[in-house]
Chains A and B, each alone.
Chain A
Amino acid sequence: MTDTTVQTKALSRNQWWDVWDQFKTHKGAVVGGGFLLFITLAVLFGPYLWTLDPQRLDIRAKDMRPIYTLLWDSGAKVSWGHPFGTDNLGRDTMAKLMAGGQVSMAVGWVAMLLSIVMGTAIGVVAGYFKRFDGLLMRFTDLFLALPLLPLLLVIMMLFRDSLRKSFGPEMGIFILIVIGIGITSWMQTARIVRGDVLALKERDFILAARSIGTSPRHMISRHLLPNVMSPIMVSATLGLANAIITESALSFLGLGFPSDFPTWGKLLFDATDRMELYPERVIWPGICISFTVLSVNYIGDGLRDALDPRIRGR
């Protein structure tokens, strides 16, 4: 008995375990994390289980309703072969949702990583090197004053054709959207990181590190970055949610991916013309976007609580 308690105490307890313990108490965050894991696995491995090609036209099976339509309309055209129905060209909705999810999630993650890397780099440089501080922060403020959605639309219009030519229609638009979202969303991260770095610089352990002659590179990578991880992680979740929404908004406005290339926003946009007759084609992609973003936001909430040492102790 005493042995075990001694042993658990002796085990070096990483602070991330404390964070995890606190995170687990936030119900919304746990459910959100579970849903995000589920939807990620579904879009990644779903196509291996549900092997219908999302691009295959099957005009005889067009305009199928989802299977649950039978509950209130026994004469509806449904088939167990297409449980979520098909579109006006007979393409399977479930296969399209999974293919679209892959693109939407990929755009979200890559754009988020890009904006986090840019924001962190600018924030750390501005906070650590005094001579760059004024310039970089003015630059950040100027970016914050730009009308982002209109500019993003303009960027899409201007560079769509040239990138399509050089990287192919899908890859070109992917690069364009990811870079567009990345360079319009790094500013908040940069500001938060700079503020934290400025506060950290006054602490004694930084003074100690400097007194033994640590180079700026090691100072940043060993002492500063690990200590600003928590705000970065919180803004990463916000960034992921923002990137997914922005991509679907662009697709919804008709300035996203090409028409036969499904993403959740594109599926929603394509379906709005006939939503009186086939509301499910609008609702399912919308639910996918909304639930993913909602779960990511809940994870962000949970992380913020878990990473805040003032709350964690209680």
Chain B
Amino acid sequence: MLNFTIRRLLISVPTLVFISLVIFLLLQLAPGDPMAQVPLTVPPEVKQKMREALGLGQPIHIQYWKWLVQFFWVEPLHLFDYMFNTVYSEGMQRVISWQTRSPVMDIVAQRIPQTLWVVGMSYVLGIMIALPLGIISAYKQYSIFDQVGTFISMVGFSVPTFFTGVLLIVVFSVQLQWFPSIYDTTHKVTDFSSLMFQIKQMIMPVSVLALYNAAQIGRFMRASMLDNLNQDYVRTARAKGLPEKVVVLVHVLRNSMIPVITVIALGVPQVFGGAIITEQVFKVNGLGQLLITAIQANDLPMVQTLTFIFAILIVLFNLIADVLYGVLDPRIRYD
């Protein structure tokens, strides 16, 4: 198992290098100039010096190398310093945003909790809805419950999240005025009433994303259960006289969970990507919203870092999915 994990870990290194190269080269083509905001009265030789200070005069491979060093060495070192009050990263240049002139990672760290709260909650909720839905749908195939459930999950993944979000806002915050339409990220939970407010403002964004995730995972769960329900070992288990509950919930469910768990793991980074839209609808100032504003402001270091963070998430969860698959299904390991 350890061997398998190490092998998978080694494959992901070149993948990450390739992705970082793609992102870096793509952004090298950007037409934006960080000096565009500098007043015209600044003489050209000073501008040239400022450009060099930002590291823009050097050849591409050196810029790429420096970016890699900043991203994989300086920033983790800085985090280490911050956590253990050490001074290893003293004097090292961090990745600086052109927009705010402050380190990109500091801003990212400020924005992560909002995204994690909304996205994480919605994913957990989505899984909690999807699993029982898929199990019952498959067990009672072609029943009314199955038909309705399949229809709802079809709607759930066909209707784009920006439309469900807007629809919820029109119904629940404009017409009924139950929930606020804008997510207030400065809100702090101190007592019961502020907790209620926090729950209220989270209901709509979370349920939009949860519906979408539940639809996707529910379909997989149903298909996987259906595959297993007709297998010979199920007939054997029934013939042994096991109660139906044990047959379905222990024998079939365990085997059907293998592909579903992989799908759940693979879905996590996509949820982060999809949250870009939901964050825009409900004006949550999380990572997605940060990416959009950075793109609009031509803030290349920020865009580069954020895109790369999304890429790392994908590679990481691919790895987790593979390893989980290996843990759950011994046939995979010996390949």
Contact = CB atoms under 8 A, between A and B. Distances in A.
Interface of A: 28, 141-142, 145-151, 153-155, 157-159, 161-162, 241, 245, 248-249, 252-255, 265, 268, 272, 275-276, 279, 282-283, 286, 289-290, 293-294, 297-298, 301
Given A147-B273, A248-B162, 8 more contacts: A154-B23, A157-B303, A245-B160, A253-B292, A272-B166, A289-B160, A293-B158, A294-B155
Indicate the member of A28, A145, A147, A253 with the most B CB atoms within 10 Å. A147
> Would you call the interface of chain B mostly helix, strand, loop, or mixed?
helix
Interface of B: 15, 18-19, 22-23, 26-27, 29-31, 154-155, 157-160, 162-163, 166-167, 169-170, 174, 269, 273-274, 276-277, 280-281, 291-292, 295-296, 298, 303, 306-307, 310-311, 313-315, 318
A279 B276 contact: no
B35 to A, nearest CB: 18
B154 A294 contact: yes
A153 B295 CA distance: 8
Contact of B163 (A157, A241, A289, A297): A289
Indicate the member of A148, A150, A151, A282 with the most B CB atoms within 10 Å. A150
Nearest to B266: A144
B273 A286 contact: no
A300 B23 CA distance: 34
A170 to B, nearest CB: 20
Contacts of B314: 145-147
A249 B277 contact: yes
B280 A253 contact: yes
Contact of B311 (A146, A153, A276): A146
B22 A146 contact: yes
Contacts of B30: 157-158
B205 to A, nearest CB: 15
A255 B293 CA distance: 11
B31 A161 contact: yes
Nearest to A159: B29
Contacts of B158: 241, 290, 293-294, 297
A19 B26 CA distance: 45
A248 B280 CA distance: 14
Contacts of A253: 276-277, 280, 292
A275 B26 contact: no
Contacts of B280: 252-253
A306 to B, nearest CB: 17
A294 B155 CA distance: 7
Given A275-B170, A297-B154, A268 B162 contact: yes
A252 B157 CA distance: 18
A241 to B, nearest CB: 7
